[in-house]
Homo-oligomer: A and B are copies of this chain.
Amino acid sequence: MDLAFTPEEQAFREEIRGWVKANLPAETAHKVHNALRLTRDDLQGWAKILGKKGWLGWGWPKEFGGPGWNAVQKHLFEEECALAGAPRVVPFGPVMVAPVIMAFGNKEQQERFLPGIASGEVWWSQGYSEPGSGSDLASVKCRAERQGDKYIVNGQKTWTTLGQYGEWIFCLVRTSTEGKPQTGISFLLIDMKSPGVSVRPIKLLDGECEVNEVWFDNVEVPAENLIGEENKGWTYAKHLLSHERTNIADVNRAKRELERLKRIARTEGVWDDVRFRDQIALLEVDVVALEMLVLRVLSAEKSGKNSLDIAGLLKIKGSEIQQRYSELMMLAAGPYSLPFIEEAMEAGWQGNFPGGEAANAPLASTYFNMRKTTIYGGSNEVQRNIVAQTVLG
């Protein structure tokens, strides 16, 4: 048992750090460090830089063109990217659909789709949730009817993150209404440029359009876009969900944001206020404890000797921490977090922010936006159900 990283791991970290420093656009990092609005180009630009290096699929095995890193190396890569201010990689392509294609797609599908994902050229979206099925994902209604060599898709998906940029979307669709709800679901890849697909951005409470409704009106999808077998999609979706483990805790981002919180607290004059400072101290303990939890999971994955089934805990604690730092940032600025000046959330804005700190502009919006973290990706209530099941049976 040893807390320190091995010399090899340290060297690996240094390599990543040097490369990120040399390749991450300064403008993008500035936006990330100050929670300013990221454009499609910011996100895809960084994805393509990673893709060119072969690191956009950083979790991929070598046989599919990935670097073949182990759990610790993946974590070190993620940590270095996060601390340097890289934007989170939009996960739907490289982290979510790619492993499903690798595990359950046929060779043709792998050759057809993986290169575009690995290079960052093709923007993927996720089509899971529907208006009636949030926590109850198995109740999806969006129908795909087989007609010859195609499926005709009708229905609606919602909460499709950044779907306004999407070129392809992977969907859970209903191909059968017989048996248990889980048994009639298929996993389909759909070209979003197909006739009948329409996307409507949903304005969120912070004024931003981060998620979308996606409508399918008699959309024709070639049957070759079906992953695996018809009516087995639930199995593939579950594989995808179980694939995500430590990533979901987002502890590296939390460490970066904790630093930002401290900067804001100094600027706003509450760093020396015991009351406020103690709130930060409590959060610091939370972040360290979460990081230790993540490291334990990584170590178990690396050694394969123990398996720690605590993904639910990572999701719950990680999301609560995200909410808490955003809350404390807003409270640090107090009244000066209250002006809502949309332009001030753009990098390079030169206006006069009331009170003088343009860095305060996104604080309340971020706090509002972060309420999503305990709702999406399996609400924290659902996660508690899962954790309780493992403990109580």
Mind listing 3 A-B residue pairs with CB under 8 Å?
A274-B274, A274-B275, A275-B278
Query: Nearest Cβ in chain B — how far from A265, in angstroms?
Result: 17
What B residues does A274 contact at CB under 8 A?
A: 274-275
How does the 8 Å CB contact mask read for A269-281 relative to B, with 1 for contact and 0 for none?
0000011001000
B residues in contact with A275, CB < 8 Å: 274, 278
Q: Which of A276-304 contact B (CB under 8 A)?
A: 278
Number of chain A residues whose Cβ lies closer than 8 Å to a Cβ of chain B: 3
The 3 closest A-B pairs by CB, nearest first: A274-B274, A275-B278, A274-B275
Shortest CB distance A275–B (Å):
7
A residues with a Cβ closer than 8 A to B are 274-275, 278
Copies of this chain held together in the complex:
2
A275 to B278, CA, bound (A): 9
Residues on B with C-beta less than 8 A from A278 are: 275
Residue of B nearest to A278 (CB): B275
Least CB distance, A285 to chain B, in whole angstroms: 15
Q: How far is the CB of A145 from chain B (nearest CB, A)?
A: 40
How far is it, in angstroms, between the C-alpha of A278 and the C-alpha of B274 when the chains are bound? 11
A278 to B278, CA, bound (A): 12
Interchain CA distance A78-B278 in the complex, whole Å: 39
Nearest B residue (CB) for A273:
B274
CB distance from A233 to the nearest CB of B (A): 35
Distance to closest chain B CB from A280 (angstroms): 14
Tell me, in angstroms, the Cα distance from A334 to B275 when the chains sit together. 21
Q: For A274, give the chain B residue with the smallest CB separation.
A: B274
Q: How far is the CA of A278 from the CA of B276 in the complex (A)?
A: 12
* CB proximity of A351 to chain B, nearest CB, Å: 38
A247, chain B: closest CB distance, angstroms: 35
Nearest CB in chain B: distance from A392 CB, A: 16
Bound complex: CA of A275 vs CA of B275, how far in Å? 7
A89 CB to nearest chain B CB (Å): 41
Nearest CB of chain B from residue A271's CB, rounded to whole Å? 15
Cα distance A278–B273 when bound, in Å?
Answer: 13
**Shortest CB–CB separation between residue A54 and chain B, in angstroms?**
51
Q: How far is the CA of A275 from the CA of B244 in the complex (A)?
A: 40
Bound form: Cα–Cα A275–B276 in Å: 11
CA distance A278 to B275 in the complex (A): 9
CB of A194 to closest CB in B, whole Å: 44
